[in-house]
Structure 1
């Protein structure tokens, strides 16, 4: 039985047939890769939007996609900074697919996709730095804490590190703190200072 290449070469013999054959192969591969990328990107964007909506519904006030400048560390980008009845909450949103493994004080975490695994930096470290930058800006003795929330694309099959939440647990954790009646006047004043000190991140 002849291969696809042999059949193609019989139809269009010579060098031109070889070039055309490989050109078609490359085109098909590139088209498949682009289609996969677009589908994946669309899904990831949808997951992030759904999670961001859930976060905004679980807190009293929220500012999103902003930056703060730290003299020592430079500029930090924030997914969300929230006002709750228990203080200021700094939320990082992560969209990693597959199974996730990591510890609160482990430098590298692991993402498992099928038979492959990938390392990524512990996101809690960067979140803690962002929390410290917020504390320096408001200069008040009120609680500022942070967390990392993962979209529905990923799951922690083993112990989930403290300060990490999945999409379906965030609202359960912070449901009690979203009511504005529970927010003190001091928190509200600090929130005004914070919102005036951040800069919006320009959309690319």
Structure 2
């Protein structure tokens, strides 16, 4: 009985851990990172999980940057479930899972902020082509 309870309790704890937003986000980022790392290294350089300073004295965390002859691509990874409702112009989007609704910051706006921080950081260089 004790071993059964220990195994069951451990499975419940692991289930809660795997459902946490931080862990789900980490898993999503690692999936994208694996895909990006499979790009031809002679044509693409990938940088993952980087913090850069902003012009406002804060920092911006960027999930993935891909450097190529085609430009610099800034990629924000989200690992959401359910129905996501929102428009590019809205600051917040709504995530609906069953009957529960959550507000989330518009990832398009988040990505634009990351691109601006990157542009500001390299403003001394030649104009960069940065795509999201």
Task: Calculate the TM-score normalised by the size of structure 2.
Answer: 0.73
- Look up the SS of the partner of 1:55 in the other structure: helix
- Look up the SS of the partner of 2:13 in the other structure: helix
Q: In structure 2, what is the equivalent of residue 70 of structure 1?
A: 54
- Unaligned runs of 5+ residues in structure 2 are 1-8
Between the aligned partners of 2:107 and 2:122, the Cα distance in structure 1 is 23
Higher relative contact order, structure no. (Cα contacts within 8 Å, ≥ 6 residues apart): 1
- Unaligned runs of 5+ residues in structure 1 are 1-29, 147-204
Question: Quick one: structure 1 residues 39 and 76, their matched pair in 2 at CA, closer, same or farther if it must change by over 3 Å?
Answer: closer
Q: CA deviation at 1:69?
A: 0.7
Question: Quick one: structure 1 residues 88 and 44, their matched pair in 2 at CA, closer, same or farther if it must change by over 3 Å?
Answer: closer
Q: In structure 2, what is the equivalent of residue 53 of structure 1?
A: 34
Between the aligned partners of 2:25 and 2:112, the Cα distance in structure 1 is 25
Q: CA deviation at 1:54?
A: 1.3
**How large is the RMSD of aligned CA atoms in angstroms?**
2.5
Q: CA deviation at 1:83?
A: 0.6
Task: Calculate the TM-score normalised by the size of structure 1.
Answer: 0.50
Q: CA deviation at 1:31?
A: 7.3
Q: Which residue of 131, 134, 141 maps to 2:127?
A: 141
Asked if residue 111 in structure 1 is aligned to residue 92 in structure 2, the reply is no
After TM superposition, the structure 1 = structure 2 runs for residues 1-204 of structure 1, keeping only pairs within 5 Å, are: 34-41=13-20, 45-58=26-39, 60-139=44-123, 140-146=126-132
Q: CA deviation at 1:94?
A: 0.9
Question: Quick one: structure 1 residues 48 and 78, their matched pair in 2 at CA, closer, same or farther if it must change by over 3 Å?
Answer: closer
Please identify the structure whose Cα radius of gyration is greater: 1
Between the aligned partners of 2:31 and 2:115, the Cα distance in structure 1 is 24
Q: CA deviation at 1:129?
A: 1.2
